[in-house]
Chain A
Amino acid sequence: MRKINKLRALLIGAPLLLLFAGGAIAADTRGDTALRVPWKVTEHRMKNGMRALLLPDHSAPMVVMKVWYAVGSRDEQPGLTGVAHYLEHMMFRGTKKYGPRKFSEIIKKNGGSHNAFTSFDYTAYYERIASDRLELIIELEADRMVNMVLEKKAFDAEKNVVHEERRTRYDRPVGKFWEQLRAVAYTNHPYKNPIIGWPEDIEAITIKDMQAFYRRYYSPENAVAVLVGDFKVDEAIALLEKHFGIIPKSPTFRKRPELAEFPQKSERRVYVRADAQLPYVAIGYHAPNWKSEDAPALVMLEAILGGGETSRLHQRLVRKDTLALGAGSDYTYISVDPMIFYLYARVAPGKKAADAEKALLEEVEKLIEKGVTDEEFRRALRNIEANMVFAMDSHYYRARLLGSAAIAGDWRLLEGYLPALRKVTPADVVRVARKYLRHKNKTTAELIPTKKSRRANAAKSRGGY
């Protein structure tokens, strides 16, 4: 029942939530039997421009469908931050055909579950249901692609819900900390805005704004349906054509432009003061994504520097110097525009943020000066390969990888991922560290606790209700 907590969860790209932790094919680096787990995906394009990716898996009598729209917080205009996510909420408030509450009621009645999430690059709607009910969810999703109704009372109530969601996520020291780091690390790129939006903007959004946003971005050309589960490909395609295929093209559809952050000219720093128990420090460097030749080496750098327990940062800050309760790095390979390569340390009690920051930077310098050993390189690669296979274990996760890759430009990047990593050398890792983890390219954030370990001030009273 706890998962209700995550209803309509926002996907925060970084940190601690890896958008891409593995994907496609695993082969063996130790030279014995090669493991191959290929993506047996059928790609289908409808006449109206909508795409579908179908991956059959008959291991359980169920199907997961995710409908992805190429619109997220990055596509919002200044002053309208949060509209993509707020709209995602309104998509559950009814259509011309199915009134308020009907969407959820019908799916639940049929034993299904549903959810949706908004990210920087996309908005995705998700259902999981018994495979013999596939048509039901296809029909419901096709219906709300173009028939959503915005009604004043529901719109107002939902605005309060979004404000509550924002409080739950960001009115916390660590939430505020990451939000501020991004806001400073980017100057002109909309990745600087929180996915959920700034509270003042959320407050100002009108039904008219949202209607325009919906019309512009919710159309077949801008959508990808991803199906993973127990179905026959031709039958599923027929159902998709029957319901999605009849939706007319949008007269106003335009392909989203690539957006570039201005090159960083100097180092930046932000202090976040909050009622926190412990300090936190993170450093972000602008780094390219999968579209760049340097990306595979950055994946390896991320793994070696801050991936697992044996990673440099964990060993130095958590194990050796006990400066931090946790330390690591985070890099986003799959995205529309380049994101940020993060290093972070959750500072331990009695230790200083400044010492943790110094240790993070020293480890970067050490890697650049002394290089990467073959042993740690091989271990990191072996780890990533195993995690590729593990990633295939869940219907949900495969649908997520396929969709996010399709939105970022091409789902086939999943197939090319491991072969690209295998071409990387330890020298490449050092080269990209030197190229991107530079002082001029960095933004540092420090969380400063404002009060010393407040004691829980529990006042107990007796009384009726």
Chain B
Amino acid sequence: MRLHRILWTLAAALLLPALAGADVITYEREELPGGGVLLVKQSRQLPMVRVAVSIPAGARHEAPERAGLANLTAALLTRGTKTRSASDIEKLNDALGGGVGMEAGRARAGASMRVLTRDLEEGLSLLSDVLRNPVFPAEEVGKTKRRIAGGMRRQRERPGHLANKALRKSLFGETPYGRLVEGTEASIKKLGREDIVRFHRKWYGMKGTIFVFVGDVSLKRARELVLARFKGWRAEGGKIPEAAPPETPTKMQVLKIDRPLSQSTVILGNRSLKRTHPDFYAARVMNYILGGGGFSSRIMDNLREEKGLVYSAYSYFASGRHAGHWRLMLQTKNKTANEAIKEAIAEVKRIKEKGVSDKELQDARDFITGNFATRFGSSSRIANYILAVEILGFSPGYADEYLKKIRAVTKEQILAAARKHIKLDESTLAVVGNLGEAKLAY
């Protein structure tokens, strides 16, 4: 395994111009008893360690009628264990630098921590305690539910949030990708302590859990710590609820939300490829040229540099392991909403009809490959990358594969990817703004 990786690194160094990613992000991988995985990137630069624990206990593990359960469970882990009160946990966490955090996503739940090397053992004992032995005190359940619901209220002041919520619902319906991880104010209200206890028992365990250590720690030490703290950690397991996404529409869906704002927030999107799809690389390069490349993208060049319609306009593929979509976002004053939407759609049509030029392709490939190694300037960036590679089922040598595939993308593949993975007929257009002023033509 190790030799294989070294060979990969050498190959990269010899064949690739200027930069390869592999030497920056080589790391060690080891499978743990009970079905977990340990990933370690050692670096002695600073006397600190970043730890991430990713558990297959995200919103997709909850039943649709219990929307928000995964999130509520994660939020309550630090509110008391068999041997520590919520206050004990807060005090220890603050003393360690306040770096312990829990959150649930759609696919997985995650615990993260950054500690000084000298505090690693203490930190890990806290982390394992909150993950394994939470007691979910009834009073804390009530308080946390109210706090999450209150946070959702505050979120409704943000037009981007409203537009995003409408888009997701339209694209993914009742699946976990169609709703907020927080659930709804109504669904949270119905959740009880028993639901939380059951969810924790069912999904929190070693199987499928990924431990990432980045920083001042060796593989040997990380293994010892994890085995000592997480030995015998088992989840009951169960069937992941299934829900079908809505039927694919044949015409663009338009959702309008009226708010007394001076600016309209626009999101256009369609269901699209997952991250493991072989077309992903061509789609990535294509989107860089269309709207993902900041000032180098066509959308920014047209809408911002040329016409001054927007401050921010961009597109991206949100491609995960289980679902994916493509989206384009922009904000413009209400009066120019029609013009901005028209121009953005025109750029989408242009790339779908005519593809890209040789120069655009070359520039995009140069950026994506050249930029790769500069993306690891902090331990959190390294940890996130390593975790993503593992979750997607790629090997530690993935960096080279990625760069190679980006370099191999052709103009023909880009045209095909634009046609296949951005689909205006199947898309949803969500607009939040002053509709009276915007007078939308859509």
B232, CB-defined interface residue at 8 Å: no
Q: What is the bound-complex CA distance between A460 and B366, given in angstroms?
A: 42
Which of A138-146, A233-241, A246-254, A381-389 forms contacts with chain B?
Answer: A381-389
> How far in angstroms is the closest Cβ of chain B from A265?
35
Name which residue of chain A comes closest to B362, CB basis.
A109
A110-B370, A112-B371, A325-B150 given as contacts; is B98 within 8 A of A383 (CB)? Answer: yes
Name the A residues within 8 Å of B378 (CB-CB): 393-397
Contact bitstring B312-339, A, C-beta under 8 A = 1, else 0: 1011100000000000000111000000
Cβ contact within 8 Å between B373 and A277: no
Q: How large is the interface on B (under 10, 10 to 19, 20 to 34, 35 or more residues)?
A: 35 or more
> How far in angstroms is the closest Cβ of chain B from A418?
14
Name the A residues within 8 Å of B24 (CB-CB): 60-61
Which of B61-69, B189-197, B236-244, B258-266 forms contacts with chain A?
Answer: B258-266
Partner of B147, one of A172, A309, A348, A396: A348
A62-B373, A156-B308 given as contacts; is B255 within 8 A of A308 (CB)? Answer: no
CB under 8 Å from chain B, chain A span 91-108: 92, 100-101, 104-105, 108
B45, CB-defined interface residue at 8 Å: yes
Contact bitstring A153-179, B, C-beta under 8 A = 1, else 0: 010111111111101100111100000
Cβ contact within 8 Å between A35 and B116: yes
B357, CB-defined interface residue at 8 Å: no
Cβ contact within 8 Å between A158 and B308: yes
Name the B residues within 8 Å of A390 (CB-CB): 48, 97, 99, 114
B94, CB-defined interface residue at 8 Å: yes
Which of A125-133, A219-227, A435-443 forms contacts with chain B?
Answer: A125-133
Q: What is the bound-complex CA distance between A334 and B315, given in angstroms?
A: 37
Partner of A308, one of B94, B116, B310: B94
Which of A281-289, A363-371, A451-459 forms contacts with chain B?
Answer: A451-459
> How far in angstroms is the closest Cβ of chain A from B71?
15
Which residue, of B24, B255, B295, has the highest number of chain A Cβ atoms within 10 A?
Answer: B295
A275, CB-defined interface residue at 8 Å: yes
Cβ contact within 8 Å between B147 and A325: yes
A60-B377, A322-B143, A389-B46 given as contacts; is B255 within 8 A of A458 (CB)? Answer: yes
A112-B370, A171-B263, A276-B157 given as contacts; is B19 within 8 A of A61 (CB)? Answer: yes
A386-B116, A465-B424 given as contacts; is B157 within 8 A of A459 (CB)? Answer: no
A349, CB-defined interface residue at 8 Å: yes
Cβ contact within 8 Å between B370 and A387: no
Contact bitstring B336-353, A, C-beta under 8 A = 1, else 0: 000000000100000000
Cβ contact within 8 Å between A164 and B377: no
A60-B376, A110-B366 given as contacts; is B442 within 8 A of A465 (CB)? Answer: yes
Name the B residues within 8 Å of A110 (CB-CB): 366, 370
A57, CB-defined interface residue at 8 Å: yes
Q: What is the bound-complex CA distance between A432 and B380, given in angstroms?
A: 36
B4, CB-defined interface residue at 8 Å: no
Name which residue of chain A comes closest to B327, CB basis.
A1
Name which residue of chain A comes closest to B151, CB basis.
A325
Name the A residues within 8 Å of B158 (CB-CB): 172
Partner of B46, one of A162, A392, A458: A392
Partner of B295, one of A104, A325, A392: A104
Which of B271-279, B298-306, B411-419 forms contacts with chain A?
Answer: B298-306
Name the B residues within 8 Å of A173 (CB-CB): 157
Partner of B257, one of A156, A458, A461: A458
Contact bitstring B351-369, A, C-beta under 8 A = 1, else 0: 0000000000001001101
A-B pairs with beta carbons under 8 A, tally: 257
Cβ contact within 8 Å between B333 and A167: yes
Cβ contact within 8 Å between B367 and A111: yes
Cβ contact within 8 Å between B305 and A111: no
Cβ contact within 8 Å between B251 and A464: yes
Name the A residues within 8 Å of B201 (CB-CB): none
Cβ contact within 8 Å between B119 and A386: yes
B166, CB-defined interface residue at 8 Å: yes
> How far in angstroms is the closest Cβ of chain A from B271?
17
A37, CB-defined interface residue at 8 Å: yes
A346, CB-defined interface residue at 8 Å: yes
A152, CB-defined interface residue at 8 Å: no
Contact bitstring A241-278, B, C-beta under 8 A = 1, else 0: 00000000000000000000000000000000001111
A407, CB-defined interface residue at 8 Å: no
> How far in angstroms is the closest Cβ of chain A from B264?
10
Name the B residues within 8 Å of A28 (CB-CB): 118
B47, CB-defined interface residue at 8 Å: yes
Q: What is the bound-complex CA distance between A288 and B263, given in angstroms?
A: 38
A112-B370, A130-B18 given as contacts; is B255 within 8 A of A460 (CB)? Answer: yes
Partner of A160, one of B295, B308, B316: B308
Q: What is the bound-complex CA distance between A392 and B115, given in angstroms?
A: 13
Cβ contact within 8 Å between A308 and B366: no
Q: What is the bound-complex CA distance between A2 and B369, given in angstroms?
A: 19
Cβ contact within 8 Å between B48 and A393: yes
Contact bitstring A301-330, B, C-beta under 8 A = 1, else 0: 000000111100000001100100100000
Name which residue of chain A comes closest to B169, CB basis.
A458
A17, CB-defined interface residue at 8 Å: no
Partner of B367, one of A108, A395, A457: A108
A4-B312, A394-B378 given as contacts; is B257 within 8 A of A111 (CB)? Answer: no
> How far in angstroms is the closest Cβ of chain B from A285?
24
A111-B366, A111-B371, A160-B309 given as contacts; is B377 within 8 A of A386 (CB)? Answer: no
A7-B294, A158-B308, A393-B379 given as contacts; is B157 within 8 A of A310 (CB)? Answer: no
Q: What is the bound-complex CA distance between A92 and B151, given in angstroms?
A: 38
CB under 8 Å from chain A, chain B span 367-412: 367, 369-374, 376-380
24 sampled A-B residue pairs with Cβ under 8 A: A35-B116, A37-B47, A60-B376, A62-B374, A104-B296, A111-B19, A111-B374, A128-B374, A154-B305, A157-B306, A158-B308, A172-B157, A275-B260, A318-B147, A322-B147, A325-B147, A325-B154, A348-B150, A389-B48, A390-B97, A393-B46, A458-B255, A463-B252, A464-B252
Which residues of A approach B to under 8 Å, CB–CB? 1-2, 4-5, 7, 26, 28, 32-33, 35, 37, 57, 59-62, 64, 92, 100-101, 104-105, 108-113, 128-130, 132, 154, 156-165, 167-168, 171-174, 275-278, 307-310, 318-319, 322, 325, 346, 348-349, 379-380, 382-383, 386-387, 389-390, 392-397, 453-454, 456-465
Which residues of B approach A to under 8 Å, CB–CB? 18-19, 23-24, 43, 45-48, 50, 87, 90-91, 93-99, 114-116, 118-119, 143, 146-147, 149-151, 153-154, 156-158, 162, 166, 251-263, 287, 292-296, 300-301, 304-312, 314-316, 331-333, 345, 363, 366-367, 369-374, 376-380, 424, 429, 442
Given contacts A393-B379, A465-B252, 16 further A-B contacts (CB under 8 A): A37-B47, A61-B23, A108-B296, A110-B366, A112-B374, A113-B294, A159-B308, A162-B311, A167-B262, A168-B263, A168-B331, A382-B97, A383-B94, A386-B98, A393-B46, A464-B251
